[in-house]
Structure 1
Amino acid sequence: MGEKIKDTTEALNEAWLDRARILSEALPYMQRYDKRTVVVKYGGHAMGDAGLAAKFARDIVLLKQAGVNPIVVHGGGPQIGSMLKRLNIESEFASGLRITDKSTVEIVEMVLAGSINKQIVGALNQAGGRAVGLCGKDGNLIVARKLEHKIHDPESNIEKLLDLGFVGEPHRVNPEILQTIIASDIIPVIAPIGVSEEGDTYNINADTAAGAIAGAMNAKRLLLLTDVRGVLGKDGKLIQRLSVAEAEALMKDGTISGGMIPKLETCIESVEKGVEAVVIVDGRVPHVVLLELLTEHGAGTLIE
């Protein structure tokens, strides 16, 4: 009986020693990001899974507790589509893109800056943090302009301008409000809604908004949480590191296509605006933010 108790005690000691070792190994990475800003774009499957959402909230609170300044920017495409369906508002599409009219942008604002934003704020507070919800209209954080989207018309072989309605892009980011917030113990959570200089409301792609905010805040890292492992090569294997020039080459030769192209474009623009590096990571992996920032091997694809 005594031998069994001894074996159990030794096993417990080993488990606690492993935890202590992991914490100790994280120290140099915690020092690297001490008092630096990390912008995290949160969306996709990770946001819709209750278990992953709770882990994400704990990880963000842990970063803040460790001296990092996390800023969360979130999306909400599926939730917007669901709400429009419940309200019997039919979405009009052109070239696969939703056209956002006046009534639709009101629903978009309600869902993004209302229910989704407050759910994330609530989760962070429940995890022991102090979070506050914002959108780009607060303090004129994101001054937007109408997005000009060009498409190629195969019949005329010329480019045409596609009017997407109240879909915008960041024209100017005013970081003062965020600088004030992160100087405290509060975590800002931002919905990608912008306001034009004329007072119009614009829906902005969450990746694009996160990139613009990261650039304006001179962020150490921008993390884009997605539903894929990262950037894949022609062999289907994960590419762990890319320079801006290499990323541009992969888009040009067709290795990268579809929805990954605008993400890589956001990465490149962010690096050019002063973000040290951008990482595309799989948000479906538990604790992926900590794996990327506080371990030796990281996760996903880093663009610098």
Structure 2
Amino acid sequence: MKTWVIKIGGAVLDTEYAASALFKELAKISINSSSNQFVLVHGGGSLVDRWLSDAGFATAKHQGLRISPKEQMPYIAGALAGCANKQLMAYAIKASLQPVGCCLYEAGLMAKQKLKALGQVGECVPHNKGILTALLELGHMPLVSSVGLGDDGQLYNVNADEAASAIASQLNGELIFMTDVEAVLDGNKQPLNQLNQAQIEALIEAGVIVGGMEVKVKTSLRAAQHLRRGVYISSWQKPQNLSALVDGAHVGTQITP
């Protein structure tokens, strides 16, 4: 049995039919093949933006990471672990899947503060095996929000790309980042089929890879190095890419160790 960890951005919920199409594709794969199982890890940045704005908070980012003051965490956690998670569950149920929503603690990960200047932005710390394997054995599809809990009793906002990488490491799974672009682009906005560490560093230095994509690519590289195999960046706008990747095709950008 092969485990696939798929990270999807919260932008999927903002695009009509995108989440529905994605889960329909996953259902089709599950029907056609009993040798693959899936764990989805999600963010929800645009939803968090709206909730914070409605509450009167200003938001800021540093190198693609949302600065998360403690007073904003109830809204951030509510948007991610509550609203976004349950909306995705609803789409999965409609596609005849059996989702179970959870956060990073249930996935076997604790969180700790990344940098004091970033507030409650967290990073993953292995804790135990969690319940994901048990859920998968029961035929469920875990939907994991990137909300973390610390042994200090605090809530943490963990970058969803980093969370997906940590979960893939826990499960020794294949890792796919589904983003809003089909691949990482070069300076001429052309898709790159494959990237290694030297190429990534050169593109970041040249200002071609910036912001959220810089975080995603760096996280992908660390994941590839830890898993000792390539990870993929592809597009949720083309859910058929999932079937292609599961079947061994090369679509999107492969980040190699």
Judge same fold: TM > 0.5, yes or no. yes
What amino acid is aligned across from residue 246 of structure 1 in structure 2? Q
CA contact (8 A) 1:45 1:284 kept: no
Structure 1: 5+ residue stretches without partners = 1-34, 149-161
Please, which of 145, 152, 158 is the counterpart of residue 191 of structure 1?
Answer: 145
CA contact (8 A) 1:91 1:98 kept: no
Structure 2: 5+ residue stretches without partners = none
Do structure 1's residue 247 and structure 2's residue 200 form an aligned pair? yes
- 1:124 aligned partner: 92
Sequence identity (%): 29
Secondary structure of 2:215's aligned partner: helix
Do structure 1's residue 261 and structure 2's residue 228 form an aligned pair? no
Please, which of 191, 196, 202 is the counterpart of residue 238 of structure 1?
Answer: 191
Instruction: Provide the rounded CA distance (Å) in 2 between the counterparts of 1:236 and 1:69.
Output: 34
CA contact (8 A) 1:43 1:76 kept: yes
Please, which of 109, 116, 138 is the counterpart of residue 142 of structure 1?
Answer: 109
- 1:60 aligned partner: 26
For residue 95 of structure 1, report the CA deviation from its aligned partner.
5.0
Do structure 1's residue 133 and structure 2's residue 85 form an aligned pair? no
What amino acid is aligned across from residue 211 of structure 1 in structure 2? S
- 2:58 aligned partner: 91
Question: Cα–Cα, structure 1 residues 218 and 94, in superposed 2: closer, same or farther, change >3 Å?
Answer: closer
Instruction: Provide the rounded CA distance (Å) in 2 between the counterparts of 1:38 and 1:280.
Output: 13
- 2:224 aligned partner: 271
Q: Deviations over 1:158-182 (max 9, x none)?
A: xxxx612111111225333111111
| Aligned-pair Cα RMSD in Å | 2.2
For residue 291 of structure 1, report the CA deviation from its aligned partner.
3.2
Question: Cα–Cα, structure 1 residues 98 and 186, in superposed 2: closer, same or farther, change >3 Å?
Answer: closer
What amino acid is aligned across from residue 161 of structure 2 in structure 1? D
Instruction: Provide the rounded CA distance (Å) in 2 between the counterparts of 1:50 and 1:173.
Output: 37
Aligned length in residues: 253
For residue 243 of structure 1, report the CA deviation from its aligned partner.
3.0
Do structure 1's residue 208 and structure 2's residue 199 form an aligned pair? no
For residue 249 of structure 1, report the CA deviation from its aligned partner.
4.0
